[in-house]
Amino acid sequence: MADGMRIVVCGAGAIGASVAYFLTRRGARPVLVDRARPAAAASGKAAGFLALDWNAGTPLDELARASFGLHRRLAEELGAERLGYRPMDALMTAAADEGDLERHRRLPNPAWLDGNVVAHEVIGGAETTAQVDPRRFTTAMVEEAVAAGAELVTGVVEGLAFGGPDGAVSGVVVDGAPRPADVVVLALGPWTSRAQRWLALPQVFGTKSASLVLGADVPAQAVFSEYVGPGRGRMTVEIYPRAGGVVYVSGQPEHGSLPDDPDEIEPTDRACAELHRIAGVHSSALRDAEVVARSACYRPLTVDGVPLIGPVPGAPGTYLATGHASWGILNAPATGRMVAEMILDGASRSVDAAPFAPTRLPAGRITSGG
Ligand SMILES: Cc1cc2nc3c(=O)[nH]c(=O)nc-3n(C[C@H](O)[C@H](O)[C@H](O)COP(=O)(O)OP(=O)(O)OC[C@H]3O[C@@H](n4cnc5c(N)ncnc54)[C@H](O)[C@@H]3O)c2cc1C
């Protein structure tokens, strides 16, 4: 049913890239528009950790399981190295600046965790936890889509036109110029809130976190650490070794309003220094490591913590694919496949779309300023 359908996907993060990829598998030739470049925002700066069943008992369970399997299949088809895909172990630890933690120990530490840290529980293994390099994953999805006939356009989406039958969408405005469209997918991550100027949508907002990439060659073991800092303040620190001798570290929440341009999102020096210090509390290899990259990004959140995937009520031809919070890299492939099915078959066949329906939340529109 893809013949001649003009589909515009707005946003080339992991979600928009995956929508474009799965549309092209079905013969469609979408236009993918991003104001910067693929993976310019969170999808290029996330950890890229994947878990089969960590969403069990939540509305995301079926989506996450399907997507975990799709990541494995994509790695087989496109090449694990190209996507930075590898299965990995996951370990829960407790760490602190000072004090004896031995009473929390349940397991011996892996040798590289030689700081004031104790291993508590194995929470994932090669069958249930894995990683991709999110930038490589997102870029590969776009490259494959373009190779199959999609068009990648660099430009700012500034509005929508609704001149189609029964008030359906008829186009998008990109850098001031109209572009015809029969279908528009809004995959703008935390910037979906900006689209409330164009149509009534449920609220999407962003929470900012800093992250570091350190140069250190350690085993493929993701570490989720309950860390007690000065003044007994607690936080969860996440440490993800990657292939190629680097380690990604995150966990430092930051404040700040979302700029229009993803290239203007910067971490603070204080957050980066603190992350490096805390990584060093866990491991001398991380303490002594050079800082390869520092970044910050915004997780796109909905009010109920569940993504928005489906048609926008009252705006025929428009779809939302956003609000994936902390699991947008994991859930990108299954989301992309669902949206392609909605557009081309009229409904998602692979995953039950009901939990993600935009109709479940109140929608609002920004009518001035903002
Ligand atoms: C520190 C951190 C660690 C994370 N770790 C993980 C993890 O381990 N596993 C996991 O599954 N998830 C993780 N996430 C979550 C994941 O990164 C996000 O859920 C996911 O990247 C969201 O993808 P997206 O495509 O919806 O949005 P984004 O990646 O934000 O993409 C939105 C795109 O829209 C473009 N855009 C914005 N406005 C316009 C406009 N007007 N016109 C055109 N283009 C526009 C932007 O340039 C951007 O490229 C993490 C997030 C953070 C912050």
Burial class (CB in 10 A: 0-12, 13-18, 19+), 67: buried
Alpha carbon distance 349, 37 (integer Å): 31
Q: List 90's β-bridge partners, or say none.
A: 124, 222
Specify the pairing of strand 129-131 against strand 49-51.
antiparallel
Alpha carbon distance 78, 90 (integer Å): 25
Domain ranges for the chain? 7-79+132-203+303-360, 89-124+206-299
Provide CB contacts within 8 A for 162, sequence distance 6+. Answer: 168, 169, 170, 315
For residue 369, the model assigns a pLDDT of: 53
* 291 CB-side CA count, 13 A: 15
Alpha helices, DSSP H, located in the chain: 14-25, 42-45, 61-78, 80-83, 134-147, 269-282, 284-287, 328-345
pLDDT tops 50 at residue 370: no
Q: List 205's β-bridge partners, or say none.
A: 301
pLDDT tops 90 at residue 80: yes
Q: Is the CB of 323 under 6 A from ligand 1?
A: no
Q: What is the pTM of this model?
A: 0.97
Provide the strand spans (E) within 125-266. 129-131, 151-154, 157-161, 171-174, 177-180, 183-186, 204-215, 221-228, 234-242, 246-254
Alpha carbon distance 161, 186 (integer Å): 14
For the CA of 209, the closest atom of ligand 1 is 1
For residue 1, the model assigns a pLDDT of: 56
Ligand 1: distance of its center to the CA of 101 in Å?
A: 36
Alpha carbon distance 138, 142 (integer Å): 6
Q: List 252's β-bridge partners, or say none.
A: 210
For residue 233, the model assigns a pLDDT of: 83
**Atom 52 (ligand 1) nearest CA:** 46
Ligand 1: distance of its center to the CA of 353 in Å?
A: 21
Q: List 167's β-bridge partners, or say none.
A: none
Pocket residue to mutate for ligand 1, from 191, 197, 224, 306, most atoms within 8 A of Cβ: 191
Number of H helices, E strands in the chain: 8, 19
Ligand 1: distance of its center to the CA of 349 in Å?
A: 25
Pocket residue to mutate for ligand 1, from 52, 309, 324, most atoms within 8 A of Cβ: 324
Q: What is the pLDDT of residues 283-329, one digit of tens each?
A: 999 999 999 999 999 999 999 999 999 999 999 999 999 999 999 99
**Atom 12 (ligand 1) nearest CA:** 327
For the CA of 321, the closest atom of ligand 1 is 26
7-79+132-203+303-360: CATH class: alpha beta
pLDDT tops 80 at residue 199: yes
**Atom 25 (ligand 1) nearest CA:** 13
Ligand 1: distance of its center to the CA of 42 in Å?
A: 4
Provide CB contacts within 8 A for 192, sequence distance 6+. Answer: 186, 201, 204, 300, 308, 320, 322, 323
Ligand 1: distance of its center to the CA of 350 in Å?
A: 23
Q: Residue 71's pLDDT band (boundaries 50, 70, 90)? A: very high
Specify the pairing of strand 31-34 against strand 151-154.
parallel
**Atom 31 (ligand 1) nearest CA:** 13
What is the signed CA dihedral for 38, 43, 48, 51, rounded to 10 degrees? -110
pLDDT tops 70 at residue 190: yes
Identical fold, 7-79+132-203+303-360 and 89-124+206-299: no
Q: Are the C-beta atoms of 310 and 319 separated by less than 8 Å?
A: yes
Distance linking the first and last C-alpha atoms of the chain: 38
- Per-residue tokens: 68: 């975990």
Q: What is the pLDDT of residues 229-256, one digit of tens each?
A: 887 788 999 999 999 999 999 987 888 8
Domain 89-124+206-299 has CATH 3.30.9.10: yes
- Residue type at position 129: T
Q: Is the CB of 300 under 6 A from ligand 1?
A: yes
Q: Is the CB of 42 under 6 A from ligand 1?
A: yes
For the CA of 36, the closest atom of ligand 1 is 47
